[in-house]
Chains A and B, each alone.
Chain A
Amino acid sequence: MSLYKAEIRRLVKRRATKLFVFCGLLVLATVAAGVFVTNQKAGPETVARAKAEAQANYQQAVEDTNRAIGECQAAQGTAKAGDYPPNCDITAPTPSDFNPDWYMPATFDFRNRFPSMVATFAGVLALVAFIIGASFVGAEWSSGGMMNLLLWRPRRRQVLGTKLAVLLAGTTVLTAALGVIWTAAFYVIAMARGSTAKMTSGAWQSLALMEARALVLVLVAGALGFGLASIGRHTATALGVAIGVIVVLQFGVGAVLGLANAKYPELYLAPFWIIAWMYKQYVAEDYHSCAVSLTGGCQPETFTITWQMAGGALTLLFALVVGVAMWTMSKRDIT
């Protein structure tokens, strides 16, 4: 327990922890401010104005169509007849082509748009957790602090496990606290610059589950940064692996699979698994295939990455990296 408390103090005292938490908060605050500024509340007047604008545009389109039909008919038998469809078959617009919603200014509908804000929140905090996790143990290795600590506590796996537990506990507290603030902030933004309608208990439950998945994503990112830095015994190892994965595996593999006309290239790209985890599923489409549909004609074949599959992948990655970090901790000499 004394080691656990000491590691909590160490994590909180570190400048890297403070700096990257501050950077994360700054990004989140900027996103929230941006959403607040670019949205506005849609009152009855705004709705009426949008309807009127849609109606006016519809009328204008009808007049333009009628004029085009008239010009077409007048051009029949002349050289200009070729500029128009045969038999002047010009389809008239319908009112449904001018949906009043499209004429509405941007408004923040909490129920529809907050999930993407939760995904943003998860992405920012996952990055922060990855860097803090890597730095927390990487700096200990490279500065010799880990060796000093092991002279006091010569149980290697216990020391590394305690550090990881402290990181995950700290990350959980930070993510949970910020998650509450994030939700409250956007609820307030929705009240001021949008709508909080249709927020049933089911909708809240769904949001809570999404935020729980966000927490898991942040924790896995923190553990990956921690594990990779511990395996390489330097913060730079984790950051190097992250950059390598992005550049080589994501861009490189993405390009190669695209050139090879692979069936579902998204299956090999991490972001789509993260999307599947956060939004419960991701449907990959094979644009080179054609499955005949009774209703929609030619439809591409699909493959759905479910949140269970994505969760399994996250669990596997977590277990692999943390397991190897623990194994190297107990087996490798400390020189």
Chain B
Amino acid sequence: MDAVLEIAGLRKTYRSRKGVRRALDGFDMTVGAGEVHGFLGPNGSGKTTTLRTLLGLIRPNGGRMALFGEEVPYYLPRVAGRVGAIVESPQFFGNFTAQDTLSLLADAGGLRRERVTAVLELVGLRDRAKERVRTYSLGMKQRLAVASALLKEPKLLILDEPANGLDPGGIREMRTLMRNLAESGMTVLLSSHILGEIQLICDQVTIISAGRRVAAGSVADVLAQHTSGAVKVGLEPGVDLIGAAAILKAGGADVTVQTDHLVVGNAGNPAQVTRILAEREIYVSELSPIAADLESVFLELTGTAPIEGQNRQVDQVAAGWGQ
């Protein structure tokens, strides 16, 4: 699959009186044509900096970026017509209507005005198009932002938190829109904190933490790489869970007792669990692998899982990645 977007060794450093902060520290990412690619990372991890740098809004301190095989930012004007993007929260001049806002962009890009009507219809703003943007809710502004990104019929759509401010119906519509766009051949790069959405929509994912890539690949591969091999063990009612746990521990298992079941953490061979218990006439009623979800993988990789009694700070991430 041809790469639509390639980033290698991207670096961006901010210097201030308080010191030097490396927002991007050799970040890599590749997005193939036709993918719906999820871009994940905790707050302050460098997601938006990456997107802004890619789109020529921020100058990098090093590294290489390419869109459609053209080096950017040098050749960005050549490929900008094929890239639709919204970066962070939608921002528009409040006194113009949605119609005016998009028609001015269409004029600037030399597009047909009919395209404005089409995208307003697509994002559900047709009937509110003649109202001033300042009267819009956050969700409506978000829809307008998506409309502005779709206006030039891009080949690559970059959306930074497109579900921000959307109601549940809007989130579902956005998900369907993403899927439809991908099916039409558009490549979509989607940055989001809603990990369930990413898991549902995206086929590939890149996770960034502290300015570096910590995981990349298909969603299934990333999940598989971080599945622990733990199994949930359910026993017949009335069986002493603590006693059963002791038997398994004596057999070398890493066991955690839960309210109504056991979790065996190092169950490389689950049959071993049933055999050990059956030898003591304890019979298993449920034996199922515990699959990792994207959220737990994300929290593990980025080191941002909440710790009881601590207030995690924005730049506080997994040991080894911190700055």
Give the interface of A toward B (CB within 8 A). 2-3, 5-7, 9-10, 13-15, 139-140, 143-145, 147-155, 331, 333-335
**Contact at B85–A143, with CB atoms within 8 Å?**
no
- Report which of A2, A3, A10, A154 forms a contact with B80, defined as CB distance below 8 A: A154
CB-CB under 8 A from B204, the residues of chain A are: none
Q: Give the contact stretch, choosing among B31-39, B105-113, B286-294.
A: B105-113
Q: Give the residue name and chain of the A residue nearest to B90 (CB).
A: A144
- Report which of A6, A140, A152 forms a contact with B93, defined as CB distance below 8 A: A140
Interface size class of B (residues with CB under 8 A): 20 to 34
- A152 and B108 contact, Cβ closer than 8 Å, known pairs A13-B100, A333-B58, A335-B52: yes
**Contact at A333–B59, with CB atoms within 8 Å?**
yes
- Residue among A7, A10, A151, A155 with the highest chain B CB neighbour number at 10 A: A151
- A149 and B105 contact, Cβ closer than 8 Å, known pairs A2-B110, A335-B52: yes
Distance, CA A145 to CA B145, complexed state (A)? 11
The total of Cβ contacts below 8 Å across the A-B interface reads: 76
CB-CB under 8 A from B85, the residues of chain A are: 151
Distance, CA A9 to CA B105, complexed state (A)? 11
- Report which of B56, B87, B91 forms a contact with A145, defined as CB distance below 8 A: B91
CB-CB under 8 A from B52, the residues of chain A are: 333-335
Contact with A along B90-103 (1 / 0, CB 8 A): 11111110001000
Please provide the chain B residues from 68 to 92 with a CB less than 8 Å away from any CB of chain A in the complex.
Answer: 73, 76-77, 80, 83, 85, 87, 90-92
CB-CB under 8 A from A153, the residues of chain B are: 77, 80, 108-109
Which 10 A-B pairs have CB atoms at the shortest separation, nearest pair first?
Answer: A144-B91, A6-B107, A2-B110, A6-B108, A334-B57, A154-B56, A333-B58, A143-B93, A154-B76, A145-B93
**Closest beta carbon of chain A to B160's beta carbon, Å:** 11
- A334 and B58 contact, Cβ closer than 8 Å, known pairs A6-B104, A151-B80, A152-B152: yes
- Report which of A5, A140, A333 forms a contact with B57, defined as CB distance below 8 A: A333
The reply on B148 being an interface residue by CB < 8 A is yes
**Closest beta carbon of chain B to A167's beta carbon, Å:** 16
CB-CB under 8 A from B110, the residues of chain A are: 2
Distance, CA A10 to CA B76, complexed state (A)? 25
- A2 and B93 contact, Cβ closer than 8 Å, known pairs A148-B148, A151-B55, A333-B57: no
**Contact at B108–A154, with CB atoms within 8 Å?**
no
**Contact at B104–A143, with CB atoms within 8 Å?**
no
Distance, CA A153 to CA B52, complexed state (A)? 14
**Contact at B105–A154, with CB atoms within 8 Å?**
no
CB-CB under 8 A from A335, the residues of chain B are: 52, 57-58
CB-CB under 8 A from B73, the residues of chain A are: 154
**Closest beta carbon of chain A to B31's beta carbon, Å:** 18
**Closest beta carbon of chain A to B246's beta carbon, Å:** 58
* CB-defined A-B contacts under 8 Å, sample of 18: A3-B107, A6-B104, A13-B96, A13-B100, A14-B95, A140-B93, A143-B93, A144-B91, A145-B93, A147-B87, A151-B57, A151-B85, A151-B87, A153-B77, A153-B80, A154-B76, A154-B80, A334-B52
CB-CB under 8 A from B96, the residues of chain A are: 13
Distance, CA A194 to CA B92, complexed state (A)? 53
Q: Give the residue name and chain of the B residue nearest to A1 (CB).
A: B110
What's the dominant secondary structure at chain A's contact region? helix
**Closest beta carbon of chain B to A233's beta carbon, Å:** 13
**Contact at A2–B57, with CB atoms within 8 Å?**
no
- A148 and B95 contact, Cβ closer than 8 Å, known pairs A155-B77, A333-B57, A334-B58: no
- Report which of A14, A149, A154, A331 forms a contact with B77, defined as CB distance below 8 A: A154
CB-CB under 8 A from B91, the residues of chain A are: 143-145, 147-148
CB-CB under 8 A from B87, the residues of chain A are: 147, 151
Q: Give the residue name and chain of the A residue nearest to B89 (CB).
A: A144
Distance, CA A143 to CA B104, complexed state (A)? 15
Distance, CA A150 to CA B76, complexed state (A)? 11
**Contact at B108–A145, with CB atoms within 8 Å?**
no
**Closest beta carbon of chain A to B229's beta carbon, Å:** 44
CB-CB under 8 A from A9, the residues of chain B are: 104, 107
**Contact at A5–B80, with CB atoms within 8 Å?**
no
Q: Give the residue name and chain of the A residue nearest to B134 (CB).
A: A143
Contact with A along B146-157 (1 / 0, CB 8 A): 001000100000
- Report which of A5, A147, A148, A334 forms a contact with B105, defined as CB distance below 8 A: A148
**Contact at A145–B92, with CB atoms within 8 Å?**
yes
**Contact at B93–A139, with CB atoms within 8 Å?**
yes
Given contacts A143-B92, A145-B91, A148-B92, 14 further A-B pairs with CB under 8 A are A2-B107, A6-B105, A6-B107, A9-B104, A13-B96, A139-B93, A143-B91, A145-B93, A152-B105, A152-B152, A153-B77, A334-B57, A335-B52, A335-B57
Distance, CA A333 to CA B93, complexed state (A)? 21
**Contact at B57–A152, with CB atoms within 8 Å?**
no
**Closest beta carbon of chain B to A143's beta carbon, Å:** 4
Distance, CA A147 to CA B105, complexed state (A)? 12
Q: Give the residue name and chain of the B residue nearest to A150 (CB).
A: B57
CB-CB under 8 A from A145, the residues of chain B are: 91-93
Please provide the chain B residues from 124 to 164 with a CB less than 8 Å away from any CB of chain A in the complex.
Answer: 148, 152
**Closest beta carbon of chain B to A274's beta carbon, Å:** 33
Q: Give the residue name and chain of the B residue nearest to A144 (CB).
A: B91
CB-CB under 8 A from A334, the residues of chain B are: 52, 57-58
CB-CB under 8 A from A6, the residues of chain B are: 104-105, 107-108
CB-CB under 8 A from B90, the residues of chain A are: 144
**Closest beta carbon of chain B to A271's beta carbon, Å:** 34
- A147 and B108 contact, Cβ closer than 8 Å, known pairs A15-B95, A152-B80, A154-B80: no
Distance, CA A9 to CA B93, complexed state (A)? 14
**Closest beta carbon of chain A to B189's beta carbon, Å:** 14
CB-CB under 8 A from B107, the residues of chain A are: 2-3, 5-6, 9
Distance, CA A143 to CA B96, complexed state (A)? 11
CB-CB under 8 A from B100, the residues of chain A are: 13
Contact with A along B209-228 (1 / 0, CB 8 A): 00000000000000000000
- Report which of B55, B94, B148 forms a contact with A154, defined as CB distance below 8 A: B55
CB-CB under 8 A from B77, the residues of chain A are: 153-155
CB-CB under 8 A from B92, the residues of chain A are: 143-145, 148
